[in-house]
Amino acid sequence: MKIHNIPPEDVLKSLFVSEKGLTGKEAESRLSEFGRNEIKEVKKKSLVKKFLEQFTHFLAILLWIASFFCFLSEYLHPGEGMLTLGLAIVGVIVINAIFTFIQEYRAEKALEALKKMLPSYVMVLRDGQERKVPAAEVAPGDIISLSEGDRVPADARLIKASGLMVNNAPLTGESESLPRNADRFDGELIESPNIAFAGTAVMSGSGKAVVFATGMSTEFGRIAHLTDAVEAGLSPLQREIVKVTRVVAVIATLMGVVFFALGHFIGRSFWENFIFAIGIIVANVPEGLLPTVTLSLAMGSQRMAKKNALIKTLTSVEALGSVTVICTDKTGTLTQNIMSVREIWFDGRAMDIADENIKKAGELLRIAVLCNNAKIVDGGYRGDPTETALLETGLKLLGDVNAERILEIPFDSDKKLMTTVDKIVKSDPEASGQLLTSIFIAHTKGAMETLLPLCTRVLINGKTMPIDTIREQLITTYNSMTGKGLRVLAFAFKEIENSFKFQVSSAKLKEKNSSLVTHHSLLEKNMVFAGLIGLEDPPRPEVPQAIEKCREAGIRVIMITGDSSRTAEAIAREIGLVRENPVIIEGHEFLKMTDKELRDAIKGKEVIFSRMSPKHKMRLVSVLKDEGEIVAVTGDGVNDAPALKKADVGIAMGMTGTDVAKESADIILLDDNFATIVNAIEEGRTVYENIRKFVSYIFSSNIPEIVPYLAYVIFRIPLPLTIIQILAVDLGTDLFPALALGAEKPLPEIMKQPPRSPEERLLNFPTLSRAYFFLGPIEAVAGLFGFFYVLKSGGWQWGEMLSLGNILYMQATTACLTAIIITQIANIFACRSMKESVFTLGFFSNKLIFWGIAIEILLQLFIVYHPWGNAIFGTSPIGPEIWLILSLFSVILFFSEELRKYITRKVDF
């Protein structure tokens, strides 16, 4: 018989597993036999194919065409140096391909390393003990525990289920949650309600199941057509870089054509004009820009990971810099998620947990222990922090509580209640001797405003009395406790009459979800109110400073919590989120509001949402986005997934978050800390600004590369800078300092500026005008000065044309190239900030810049003084006095930019 056709009691036997689960050796043996529990990609693009693709993109094709014409011209008109130029351009294509491939490979490996930082884990029963193991190490025969928010790791047959609902969307495409049970099923496997399939999500309830298929043997593995690996698309920033690069290339080509025609018109030869046209194209095209940007984003992701923010997509790095609103949970994000019982109300009075009379609250503490899903595992408490605090306190004061759970109605985020039915054995006072009898008691805990209306009586000093006699005192006490920032839970119970016992017993045997619905209304009414317990969850110490940072950065923070309004406001004031009179919207008010009313409400400076259900976040995020806000939202539960996907930046909790939430999010907080979100936003802004810095740096050298060609055509002078020397700058000396700029630390003012508009372009007018009309012209003047200074010193006369092999000519072009390199050294310091002085930033605060400069100088020394460098780049050694004279232009550029920044700061002030 098939696994789903047999009754639950025979499942373990059929898979040769004991009730204690597999032993460690059995698990290893089965892993060896069946393989790791992984879905394998059948086909992935090879490294060779990825490398070859670097030779066929838009810029490469443009350069291939240029090299073809060079070789053709050498064939038709030999002796003009076209062969050398053609080989140089082919060299550029190869060098650029290698550089791009290495950068993309490093970026890919960096992202893979980040993914490995957060493996998926599963609770399995081995050697009779529950333990957490990586999902990839689950073997056939493993008994696994399933609870709300889990991603099912393998195909498994249920042997126990309590209110279990799963979402089979990854398998069937249907998003509706389906009930699961442990009963045998005679239909098809795929339709069986007793099977939890790999890749599906547990939406509510809990259960135990035995794994019978793993990896590629699962239903998901069979139908997952992974013959073609999904290609990750370019991020908006990368697309912008591609677009800009292509536009620049097209403009450069048009410029080449126009000046080719102009040269022909003023009498230049075809080959002179052809060299000019190729030079203009090569000088303008930023060959190494895209791979440098990609690597910078990947480096930013790695830096964020070190700060406990795991970035799943490069797009998220950009989006972080634009965030205007953070919708954050309170518990565990703003607070420490370390719950402890602080105050209790019972028998008509409130007392501190340290009060010696606290042990008299026996019934209240018993409910806290029994209506609870926390467990003791390996000597420690495991489960929801609220429940672990209740369990720890109850067991500490009462000792062991003997009872058998018969039924559970799981916590409902709408009703904010959880109920269990427990069988308690006690002596019968009416019988003689030690006759024991079993009683069934419903225990309920939840929100005060939901539970109090379900109670008709209250327990005072061991006796029950009408609830109305003490209702006002209860409400006053509740308000007092929540006003202290405590999370307050109410507790109630009800003994179930004999006529109900059979129904409960049958519910236990059937374990069907329909039984929960049947008994729901019967259990949770006419209850006896037992008391209140107030729990404290202290704020994280870093949060107040992070909140202040957000305020200075123009980012609004909206608290969303399931706690009461008073608790939420008290915590909000403690952390500095609220200073005035906030807009507080409770869940029931939220449901009644129209979208227009909600839009008006969220325009307030300080907004808190209390008693909210996670599933309502989706609507709030949608309304905020409709108002033009860039929204980051936190979440950890299954119901948070739609909001995490809808938000511009979805942020899941790494420590307490469910698998479903983590898969839906863009960023995973490894420490669940709100301050980490703010640090990630700061890093996101910094990454974007750093990219803009090195783009400005790279584009600045375009002007001193273009101007010599314009002078060559218009003034009929020897060409001051050869194409090969341009390539030495673009693909040699510029690259390492540019990468160093990508590692700049956040500027002091980065979190004192308003969020960046998504419409703001990377290459905006201020950036381009600074590069093309301010820094670039200074470098161009330096280059031409060096060129003419060497020519005049050697006796050159205006109008005299020099051959390519002339020593004086080669020294002059060397001086022009050296001038560009020297001024670019000053430019790297200039580009570290658009407004802040280098002296304010700290001259030595980015040590990578000095490594970049050192490599830049070493490369230039090789080009100028080594015979190989002379031969490749057409250079000739120059005297040290030339370096000294050209260094003055570096000083001029540096202090000119410092003056511009000073004026800009004064104008802005």
Active-site annotation, residues: 329
429/808 Cα distance (integer angstroms): 118
For residue 614, give the nearest of 566, 650, 584 by alpha carbon.
Answer: 650
Q: Which two tokens stand for residue 92?
A: 């550029």
858's CB contacts (< 8 A; 6+ apart) are: none
Whether residue 419 contacts residue 444, with contact meaning beta carbons closer than 8 Å, is answered with yes
653/656 Cα distance (integer angstroms): 6
- Neighbour count for residue 365 (Cβ, 10 Å): 27
State the pairing for strand pair 527-536/455-460.
parallel
State the pairing for strand pair 380-382/375-377.
antiparallel
Helices (runs of H) and strands (runs of E) counted in the chain:
35, 26
* Location of structure tokens 């003997």: 402
Q: Which amino acid is at 115?
A: K
Q: Which amino acid is at 502?
A: F
Whether residue 165 contacts residue 176, with contact meaning beta carbons closer than 8 Å, is answered with no
Whether residue 528 contacts residue 576, with contact meaning beta carbons closer than 8 Å, is answered with no
The DSSP H or E segment spanning 558 is strand 556-560
> What percentage of the chain's residues is helix, strand, coil (to nearest 5)?
55, 20, 30
- Cα→Cα distances 267→256, 277, 278, 804, Å: 16, 15, 18, 20
DSSP class of 233:
P
Q: Hey, which residues does 612 pair with through a beta bridge?
A: none
- With 0-12 CB in 10 A as exposed, 13-18 as middle and 19+ as buried, what is 187? exposed
2's CB contacts (< 8 A; 6+ apart) are: 189
Q: Hey, which residues does 423 pair with through a beta bridge?
A: 404, 440
Q: Hey, which residues does 671 pair with through a beta bridge?
A: none
DSSP class of 496:
P
27's CB contacts (< 8 A; 6+ apart) are: 126, 137, 139, 141, 142
Helix residue spans in 647-748 (DSSP H): 659-664, 674-700, 702-714, 723-728, 735-741
371/408 Cα distance (integer angstroms): 9
For residue 585, give the nearest of 607, 617, 605 by alpha carbon.
Answer: 607
731/93 Cα distance (integer angstroms): 10
